[in-house]
Amino acid sequence: MKKTFANLLFDGRTIDLTVEGGLIAALDDHVSVQGEAAPRPVIPAFYNCHTHLAMNLLRGFADDLELMPWLQEHIWPAEAHLTDEIVYAGTRLAILEMIRNGTVFANDMYWYAPAVARAAEEMGIRCAVSMQTIETGGPGRNDPKNIAANRALENLPRSAASRVFTTLAPHAIYTVCEHSLRELAARAKAEDTFLHIHVAETRCECETCKKEHGGRTPMAYLNDCGLLGPKTLMAHCVHLTDDDIKIVRDTGAVIVENQQSNMKLVSGLFPYARARTCRMALGTDGASSNNSLSMFAEMKCAALAAKIESGDPTAAPAPAIFRLATRGGAQAIGLDAGEIRVGAAADFSILNPDATPLVPGFNRTSDLVYAADSSCVDTVVCAGRTLMEGGVVPGEAEILAAARQAARELTGSRRM
């Protein structure tokens, strides 16, 4: 089905953008009509390359803590009460929030993943749904329901050629044993499947790894296990040595920076200036440790943190960070998207030119990285399907009501 979005502003031109078959089919010069509104800017959509979608039901539930106390004393006990329907409701709330922020893809890692896939299919976003492995810690390690949930994903596609596809997701080196890591590495290679894992998030993780694995860093250990390659997406990567960065660069693995979560949990500052030669993308992490799923906020934080960490105000310029959130994320999952270009996937947002963060408009990319928020997004298109138009997402009221009820069931609270 062909659809044309008229009177858009792109690269200094006023254009009409035509979508057909899920792709951008044409970018034609717009023939202006007297009295019509000012053209609306069109930008590539965002790709959130590491998150835990349904964790937004725990937004604000346990704040101002370090990672392990936050997980072990608060999050994991609450997650013991998860069900299929709770995860479904939480995922729909997360997708609603992402759409409003111009995000069309989530690389998710969470429990009861078929519920995640169902929500993504219904609401029209792209989603990498994880078959998560966790052997120590967490609510699902021995849960027959979660084992069955992973089995239910076996028939899902394994690549971003499908809008919803699945990945193998060993949680982290401190929750998955070496034997399992090696097995998953071999399986990923045999099936040509993406891997999704947390790496080098905290100093404690790194020091423990060195003690338990012959002085090797988490990155060196995972490389020895065969886990690193062009289809490996690694969240956080805060504590990297120069040798680690060389390993990442040589293997072609993808670092997914999550700077807001890293700062909130005091995990550290991501070393952008040293790691910028590696393949990189951005992610929000979950909304219980961020506390939002806004890629606008993530871009700003990534740019500012890079300047502080390096002591260089020219580090992480706005165009480089914007590219990580768009083209970089798309390339991380092997998708020809993240650009406004004929032949690219039709994933884009149309902005409200009168949104206050975009005025006066000296530098659009700078405005998007340092000033913009969800108020700037008018229309969102994913794979040619319009997910939001005029700021309206179908079914929003029902999604919000179901999420509030699910949060009450999850936490036992009646104060939602």
Across 103-140, b (16+ Cβ under 10 Å) vs e yields bbbbbbbbbbbbbbbbbbeebbbbbbbbbbbbeeebbb
Q: Tell me which long-range contacts 148-152 makes (C-beta under 8 A, separation of at least 24).
A: 149/84, 149/111, 149/112, 149/113, 149/114, 149/115, 150/113, 152/113, 152/114
pLDDT for residue 394: 96
pLDDT for residue 371: 98
Termini Cα distance of the chain: 42
Sequence spans of domains, the chain = 3-42+351-389, 46-332
pLDDT for residue 333: 98
The contacts of residue 240 (CB under 8 Å, 6+ apart) are 200, 217, 219, 248, 271, 274, 275
Angle at 19 between CA 14 and CA 21, to 5 degrees: 165
Q: Across residues 343-371, what is the average pLDDT? A: 97
Model confidence band, residue 71 (pLDDT cutoffs 50, 70, 90): confident
CATH placement of domain 46-332:
3.20.20.140
Closest CA to 151 of 114, 185, 115, 184: 114
Asked if residue 14 lies in contact with residue 39, where contact means CB atoms within 8 angstroms, the answer is yes
Q: Across residues 328-355, what is the average pLDDT? A: 98
The predicted-structure confidence for 268-288, as pLDDT tens digits, reads as follows 999 999 999 999 999 999 998
Q: Across residues 51-59, what is the average pLDDT? A: 95
Residue spans of beta strands (DSSP E) within 12-88: 13-20, 23-29, 40-44, 46-51
Equal CATH topology for 3-42+351-389 and 46-332: no
The predicted-structure confidence for 5-49, as pLDDT tens digits, reads as follows 999 999 999 999 999 999 999 999 999 988 999 999 999 999 999
pLDDT for residue 147: 76
- Joined together, the tokens standing for residue 5 give 């979005």
How far, in whole angstroms, is CA 56 from its chain's centroid? 13
Asked if residue 21 lies in contact with residue 330, where contact means CB atoms within 8 angstroms, the answer is no
CATH placement of domain 3-42+351-389:
2.30.40.10
HEC string for 246-292: HHHHHHCCEEEECHHHHHHCCCCCCCHHHHCCCEEEECCCCCCCCCC
- Joined together, the tokens standing for residue 352 give 């409200």
Closest CA to 95 of 71, 115, 75: 115
The predicted-structure confidence for 187-199, as pLDDT tens digits, reads as follows 999 999 999 999 9
The predicted-structure confidence for 108-155, as pLDDT tens digits, reads as follows 999 999 999 999 999 999 999 999 998 876 555 556 766 787 888 888
Q: Does 147 or 50 have the greater pLDDT score?
A: 50
pLDDT at 413 over 80: no
pLDDT for residue 416: 37
- Joined together, the tokens standing for residue 184 give 């998953």
H-run or E-run covering 169: strand 164-170
Query: In the predicted model, what is the mean pLDDT of the chain?
Result: 94
Rg (CA), the chain: 21
User: What backbone phi and psi angles, to 5 degrees, belong to 164?
Assistant: -120, 125
pTM score = 0.96
Model confidence band, residue 415 (pLDDT cutoffs 50, 70, 90): very low
The predicted-structure confidence for 213-269, as pLDDT tens digits, reads as follows 999 999 999 999 999 999 999 999 999 999 999 999 999 999 999 999 999 999 999
Q: Does 200 or 134 have the greater pLDDT score?
A: 200
pLDDT for residue 397: 97
Asked if residue 293 lies in contact with residue 108, where contact means CB atoms within 8 angstroms, the answer is no
pLDDT for residue 94: 98
